[in-house]
Amino acid sequence: MPHVLCLRPIHPDAIALLRSRPDVTVEVLDPVTSEALDQRIGAAHAITVRLQTIDASLIGKARNLRIVARHGVGYDAVDVAALTARGIPLTVTPDANAVSVAEHALMLMLATARQTVGYHARTRAAQWGFDLPTFDLAGRTVLVIGFGRIGGRVARLCAAFGMTVLVRDPHVPRNTIKGAGFVPADDLDAALAAADIVTLHCPATAETRGMVNEAFLKAAKPGVVLINTARGTLVDEPALAAALAAGHVAGAGIDVFAVEPVQPDNVLLRAPNVVLMPHSAAATAESMRRMAMSCAESILACFDGRLDPHVVVNPEVLRRNA
């Protein structure tokens, strides 16, 4: 009988869906310690993963494993090559959190543009006044880097706010971007020089890690605002902190960090004009349920031999296993 091991609790509706199948057993591991994981991973035919690192060593101990279902879209902490070598699919929840992350990105834009954190602190201290520099989003230019499900939603939301939207994504045809009503950013440096806000919505790959470095920031328009709800490793954090301290970057809204949980010595914690969040963009009640349900549906579909290739990171294993 297939056994599902959930690494940390997921939404009760998803647990109920899994347990509604009489041919499936379910176990929730909480807390997830290395000792407990070593003891239980061998019995698992499927695992749901939120924050846990899934490396080659752990995969090697999972003798019965048939699927890894990632509770989210990022899979930096999963050894995809080791799973592929074993013929094990890794699934993500590509549609589940797009709305929530896109709204979060707009929240960070607004909070940064309107100095929400600074004015909140002043008002709580009964310090009246409005001398902090603020600006409207309407009439500004935003550069959306990454035009997938989240980036596309962010672009539409920015357009609804009256912004000029530039889109940079080498993997999307420029006619697709133009057809959606946005301006393709063929020349990155030119787009950086024009953008009042740069918002990141691309995965962490060999191509994108560290892309927001000193040269990137120097090419940006003076007074630019940077928003990152994608992956912390896209940004050279010391370079961003230096640009913030120098005033070349006027503000930043950061939901993700290179090392998570964020460490006390992270330079961004001491940087000026930042709004910092604990990777919570997808943590709305609705998104958490959607992600959990997507995980459960993918696991049951795998057991039934009908897994949707569009949610699989390594679809070549499906062809190999067919």
Measured in degrees and rounded to the nearest 5, phi and psi for residue 206 equal -60, -30
The Cα 222–Cα 133 span in angstroms is 15
Residue 89, CB-side half-sphere exposure with 13 Å CA sphere: 28
Q: Which residues of 206-221 are buried (b: 16+ CB within 10 A; e: fewer)?
A: eebbebbeeebbeebb
Catalytic residue chosen out of the listed positions 231, 237, 290, 297:
231
Give catalytic status of residue 207 as yes or no: no
- Taking CA atoms, 38 is separated from 32, 41, 63, 75, in Å, by 10, 6, 12, 21
Token pair, residue 315, equals: 């679809």
Note whether 313 and 72 are within 8 A (CB).
Answer: no
- Beta bridge partners of residue 29, listed in sequence order: 7
Catalytic residue check, 248:
no
Given the residues 149, 201, 279, 290, the one annotated as active site:
279
Report the largest interatomic distance among the alpha carbons of the chain, rounded to a whole angstrom: 67
Catalytic residue among 3, 103, 156, 260: 260
Active site residue 279: yes
Residues 6+ apart with CB under 8 A from 98: 149, 150, 153
Q: Which residue numbers are catalytic?
A: 231, 260, 279
